Amino acid sequence: MMKNIDYMTLKAFTEENIDFLIGGRLQKIQQPTRRDFILSIRNQGESRKLYININPAIYHIAFMTPEGEKRRNIVIPKHPPMFCMLLRKYLEGAKISDALTIENERIFELHFETYDELSQLRSLCLCIELMGKHSNVILYDRETSVIIGCAHNVGVEKSKYRELQGGLKYIYPPGVNEKSRVNTPLYKILSGTNINEALDDYYSKIQEEINVKNEKSKLLTLVVSKLRKVKNSSSKIEALLKKRDNTEKYKHLGELLTANIYLKADYKPSVEVFDYTIGENVVIELDVTMTMNENAQRYYKLYNKSKTTKEKSSKILEEFNIEKEYLENIIYSINQVNHIEDLEDIKTELGLVEETKSAKKSQPAVTKIEINGFDVYIGKNNKQNDYIVSKLAKDDDYWFHTRLCAGSHVLLKVQSREPDEKVIFECCKLAREYSSAALPSKVGVIYTKAKYLRKPPASPLGYVTYKNEKEILI
C-alpha cells in the first residue's frame, strides 16, 4: 500500500536539506507536465534538481538522484506552459533566503530574495501545497501576500473557503489539516537512511510503475488494433481462396475437352463426355461462339489465371501470417515489461520514436542464466531475440521456442560438451515460462540447432524459420 507524504516527513526532508537550500541560487525552472516541476538549484559548488510533483496520486518533493530521474522518464516540452514562463520571469537567478514547512501542514515554502525591474529588492514565496487533490504550487509576494500565479487556479465554484488565482491575497488553508497527522508517518517507515534518497527512491519507483502501466496501455491499444486488421484481412483472403478455388477444376475440364475433340461439339452450348476420374459421363458448359478446341484453351487460360491468383493470394496470406506472429510477439513483449527503458526499445521497433546513436551501438540487455555449467540466454523483446539468433548463436548451439504461441527466444550455448536431456528439458521449461501460453495447459516447445535457423529476407525483427526440430510437451 502506498504511503502519502505527511507533515513529519516533509519536516524531516526540510531539516535534512536546509543547509543546501538556504543561500542556493535557482538557475533553471522546467515544467515537464501540468503537475510536475524541476528547480535546478546551485549552492556550495554543487547543482541539484528539486523535483516537485502535485499529482493527487503521488504528490511529493525530493532532490532527484540519477536513478530516480531515469525512472521518472522526464520529457521536457519544447514550449513551456505559461505558469513555467511566469516562474522563470520572477525566480530564475533568484537566491533562496529561507526554506520551511508550515506547522502541522503538508506545505513547503521556498523564500526568495530578488530584484524587480526598478532594481528594488523584492521578497517572494514559492509555496508548494502537498494536499492530495488540492495540491498546488503558488507564487506570491511576501510583503503584500498577493498571488502572482498558481499552477492551478481555484475559483469560488471549486472552493467556497479559499480562492487561488493571480491578484488575490494568499491565505493558508483554514484550520489544521487533520489528515496530515497520521499514526504511522512516512518518515518513520523511511527512517534509518537519507530521507531525500528514500523519498526519491520510493516515489520514483511508483512513478515508473504508473508510467509503465500508461505506456503499456497505449502501446497495446495500438498493436492490438493492427493485429485485428491483419487477422481480418487474413480471414478474408482465406475465405476467398476456399470459395473461388476452381484451379484444378478448370485444368481438368480443359483436359477432358482436349481428350474428346473428336466429338466435334463446335459452337454448341455444352457437350457430354466421359470423366475417367469418377467413371461416368459429365456435361461441360461451352461458349457457343467458340469451337471445342477453343473452349478447351479457354479453360486452360482460366486455370492459369486462377493458379496465378491463388499463388499471389497465398503469398499475401503468408506475409499476413508472418506479420500476425510478429505483432503477437510484440504484445507478449509489452506485457512482460517492468521498466520504462524496455518500452523505449519496443517504441523504437514500432517506429514511434527514433533510435538514438548510443542505442544503435549498445548491445541489447539479454537475460543470461546458467544451467549445469551451460550459459543460457533469454530475449525479452524482438530486438533481443534478433540479437540472440543473429549475433550470439553459433551453429551447434540449441534454440528453443514455444510452438504456435508468442514467446522469447531461448539459446543454449554449447562449448566443450553436449547438453544432456536434463539440460534440454530445463531450457524447454524456460521457453514455456517466457511465453504467452496460458497456465496450466501443456504447450509444445520446439528446439533445434542454430544452424537450422533461417531469417527470410525482409522479415520482421526476431522472425526466423527452422527445420530438423524436435518437440517436447511442457
**Poorest-pLDDT segment among 352-356, 386-390, 449-453, 469-473:** 352-356
Whether the predicted pLDDT of 139 surpasses 80: yes
CA distances (Å), 8 to each of 99, 103, 106, 190, 367, in order? 15, 9, 9, 11, 42
Q: For the whole prediction, is pTM greater than 0.85?
A: no
Count of Cβ atoms closer than 10 Å to residue 130 Cβ: 26
Residue 448's pLDDT is what?
96
Is residue 81 within 8 A of residue 218, CB to CB? The reply is: no
Whether the predicted pLDDT of 64 surpasses 50: yes
Categorize the per-residue pLDDT at 183 as very low, low, confident or very high, splitting at 50, 70 and 90: very low
User: Where in 9-83 does DSSP place strands (E)?
Assistant: 25-33, 36-43, 46-53, 60-63
How many Cα atoms sit within 13 Å of 14 on the Cβ side? 19
Residue 176's pLDDT is what?
44
Per-residue pLDDT tens for 370-384? 999 999 999 988 989
In the predicted model, what is the mean pLDDT of residues 258-286?
A: 91
Whether the predicted pLDDT of 184 surpasses 60: no
Whether the predicted pLDDT of 249 surpasses 70: yes
Whether the predicted pLDDT of 79 surpasses 80: yes
In the predicted model, what is the mean pLDDT of residues 77-89?
A: 95
Whether the predicted pLDDT of 211 surpasses 50: yes
Residue 192's pLDDT is what?
67
Residue 182's pLDDT is what?
42
Percent of the chain at pLDDT > 90 equals: 69
Mean pLDDT of the chain: 90
3-class state of residue 221 by DSSP = helix
Categorize the per-residue pLDDT at 358 as very low, low, confident or very high, splitting at 50, 70 and 90: low
Categorize the per-residue pLDDT at 181 as very low, low, confident or very high, splitting at 50, 70 and 90: very low
Residue 360's pLDDT is what?
67
Is residue 289 within 8 A of residue 267, CB to CB? The reply is: yes
3-class state of residue 402 by DSSP = strand
Percent of the chain at pLDDT > 70 equals: 94
Is residue 169 within 8 A of residue 150, CB to CB? The reply is: no
The residue that leads in pLDDT, 146 or 185, is: 146
**Poorest-pLDDT segment among 232-246, 258-272, 282-296, 436-450:** 232-246
Whether the predicted pLDDT of 29 surpasses 90: yes
Query: How far, in Å, CA of 253 to CA of 269, rounded?
Result: 15
Select 7-191's CATH number: 3.60.15.10, 2.30.310.10, 1.10.20.10, 2.40.50.460. 2.30.310.10
Per-residue pLDDT tens for 421-439? 999 999 999 999 999 987 7
Where are the domains positioned within the chain?
A: 7-191, 209-353, 363-473
Query: How far, in Å, CA of 94 to CA of 99, rounded?
Result: 14
C-alpha cell at 266: 463446335
The residue that leads in pLDDT, 96 or 456, is: 96
Categorize the per-residue pLDDT at 117 as very low, low, confident or very high, splitting at 50, 70 and 90: confident
Residue 223's pLDDT is what?
94
Residue 191's pLDDT is what?
63
Count of Cβ atoms closer than 10 Å to residue 48 Cβ: 19
Query: How far, in Å, CA of 364 to CA of 390, rounded?
Result: 12
Categorize the per-residue pLDDT at 179 as very low, low, confident or very high, splitting at 50, 70 and 90: very low
Residue 180's pLDDT is what?
44
Categorize the per-residue pLDDT at 208 as very low, low, confident or very high, splitting at 50, 70 and 90: very high
C-alpha cell at 415: 562449448
In the predicted model, what is the mean pLDDT of residues 429-452?
A: 91
